[in-house]
Structure 1
Amino acid sequence: MKKKAAVIDMGTNTFHLLLVQMGDNQFEILYKEKIAVRIGEGGINQNVLLPNAQKRALHTLTHFQNLIKGEKIDQVFTFATSAVRNAKNANDFTDKILQLTGFKVNIIDGEREAELIYKGIRLSSSLDQNTSLMMDIGGGSVEFIIGNEETIFWKKSFEIGGQRMLDRFHYHDPILEEEVDKLYSYLESELTSLFNAIKKYSPTRLIGASGTFDTLTDMYLASLQLERSRDIQSHFLPIQNFQSIADKLIRLNKQERLKIPGMIPMRVDMIVVASCLIQYILKYVETPTLICSTYSLKEGVIAELMEKVVSGVNISV
């Protein structure tokens, strides 16, 4: 029997809605939408959700609620990540959401976030028997997972997301070389446990999940005068081409970046520091190709729900 479900991913930068119909170890996407809410804007490094950010979030969730009602879906799974889990006023905010929409927000920790991202990447068929380093660059946090198609060897979430790095290091546009150097020094000190894990498990592949990696894929394909197929969930970006794109992003100002084919406005600011992060990680993982998974956390939730549908268990997460 097929069952419908809605998944809401309340990311620090972007809110995602995914409406699906599930059954027999597969799912059909009924509708999906992403909106640049920027819930962490202005307050993320002070661990507070500012009034204007909350207003945008509530407006977006009301919009999502109307779409969910239109599909007659009563199973709604709502997740909040870095910006909300670290906010001093998170409970007040989630109470407002419950009162306005009826959505009970599941504030997940970094370990759970990494686990769901892994399950989403696995569902995209990006993994094989080789050991891979997976990364998801959010606005508030970045999750790193080392594993293969069978299991996770190591995972950790770091509060070094795009909005945090943007607020802390990207003061000039284009970003200054000294700002990039400060960012690299910061990453060197913050990611010690990751570098130790890379030495231990020796991943030979680098996989990026959704978000920034979708946009990098779009820019690469646009340079070849191609479009990304909706039927393909795993794309390959040669490292040489990524480095060329990243160097351009770092060199150009915002208006110039917006003119790059494949760029979208919601990514134009954070993609600079995100590209710096990827370049830095590539110093530790030698691979000829960057693998870009279009699936991430929300699809990881769907993967868990499908397991329960197949086993006849009531769907819950």
Structure 2
Amino acid sequence: MPHRRLALIDMGTNTFHLLIVELPDDGQAAPRPLLRTKVGVRLGEGGISAGRIAEPAYERALHALLGFREEIELHQVTDVRATATSAMRVTENGPELVKDIFEQTGIRVEVIGGDREAELICAGVRQAVPLGPERHLIMDIGGGSVEFIIANDTTIFWKRSFEIGAQRLLDRFFPEPSGIMPAEAIVAEQHYLAEVLAQLTAALAEYPPVSLVGASGSFDSLADMQLGQLRPEAELPPSTELALSSFRHSYQQLLSLNHEQRQALPGILPMRADMLVVAAILIDYVLNLTGLTRIRTSAYALKEGLLAEML
């Protein structure tokens, strides 16, 4: 009997991820990863704030899924699970894209809600970071939404998804990101976050965490900046300790450089050079709000959570 192979697709607002694993026959051993890849689709670019997926982004999405389809066939995958999040959840032509993807690739996409997204992210992070019995604040900055989860290794104490992802923050506070982000725009974003994240502030008072665990591209980028080199997806360790001093240094760089200079920073993926500015302001806001000094990154998120749940 051929081995069972699973493909897990996470269609985020910035990046589409594909993970292909082989399941052991006995069900005892851990699944063996065969492929871990991602495509920068920028599904939210030029439209998410207006509630539509723009035509070029729509085409990029179909193109990425056709590429994934080839890999799935090449690896003789037996089961495919595909989930889509914020961009397809809230746009008027999201359902149309789901239909087109199925018609062109045979891949069925499940559009999931913010709460479910937070649960899966937590399940994925638990595979990468040993949380133990203490509470941690898990944060995943997507392009469309940001998930916050207060959890330990067994319990989720509180979770919430906010539609304040990096693409939305960029559209709102830094629409012309060729230069340096103006000081008044930084202040405006901070005020906006204080307003929107009132429920997070209340939850933190009720369930104070001991550390921040960041899942998502922005945190991977900050870990790469700390190292001074861009690591490919397959080489990322499950978790990296991000020194607070390193974050502060990267944050100052991001705020003081223009687009070209940011793109030239070692460890930065060019497509993240602008979003990372507004994402870092959000991370800084959360650090100031909580007073936390320990930051770890998790290379695992939604798709690994889905895998853990399926097993």
Check whether the contact 2:121–2:302 (CA below 8 A) recurs between aligned residues.
yes
Aligned to 1:266: 271
Pairwise CA RMSD: 1.9
CA contact (8 A) 2:37 2:233 kept: no
Matches for 1:70-219 after TM superposition, within 5 Å: 70-172=74-176, 173-219=179-225
Unaligned runs of 5+ in 1: 307-317
Q: Which runs of 5+ in 2 are unaligned?
A: none
Check the 8 A contact 1:126/1:293 in 2, yes or no: no
Residue 231 of structure 1 deviates from its aligned partner by 7.0
Q: Which amino acid aligns with 1:106?
A: E
Cα-to-partner distance string for 1:91-130 (whole Å, 9 max, x where unaligned):
2111111100011110000000000000000011341221
2:36–2:234: 8 Å Cα contact kept in structure 1?
A: no
Percent of pairs with identical residues: 43
Range with bigger deviation, 158-167 or 48-57: 48-57
CA, structure 1 residues 137+155, in 2 after alignment: closer, same or farther (shift >3 Å)?
same
State the TM-score, normalized to the length of structure 2.
0.94
1:5 aligned partner: 6
Q: Secondary structure at the match of 2:164?
A: coil
Look up the SS of the partner of 1:284 in the other structure: helix
Structure 1 stretch displaced more, 184-193 or 258-267: 258-267
Give the Å deviation of 1:221: 1.4
Cα distance in structure 2, aligned partners of 1:168 and 1:88 = 20
How far apart are the structure 2 equivalents of 1:125 and 1:116? 14
CA distance in 1, matches of 2:43, 2:249: 31
Q: Residue 305 of structure 1 aligns to which amino acid in structure 2?
A: M
| Partner Cα distance (1:227, 1:77) in 2 | 23
The alignment status of 1:58 with 2:58, answered yes or no, reads no
SS at match of 2:288: coil
Cα offsets for 1:157-194 (capped at 9, x unmatched): 00000000000001342100100111011101100000
Query: Which secondary structure does the structure 1 equivalent of 2:300 belong to?
Result: coil
Number of corresponding residues:
305
Cα shift at 1:232: 2.9
Alignment CA distance shift 1:227-1:211 (3 Å) = closer
Deviation, 1:229, is 9.1
2:4–2:78 Cα contact (<8 Å) kept: no
Compute the TM-score of the two structures, normalised by the length of structure 1: 0.92
CA contact (8 A) 1:48 1:88 kept: yes
CA contact (8 A) 1:174 1:254 kept: yes
Provide the C-alpha distance between the structure 1 equivalents of 2:108 and 2:231, rounded to a whole number of angstroms: 41
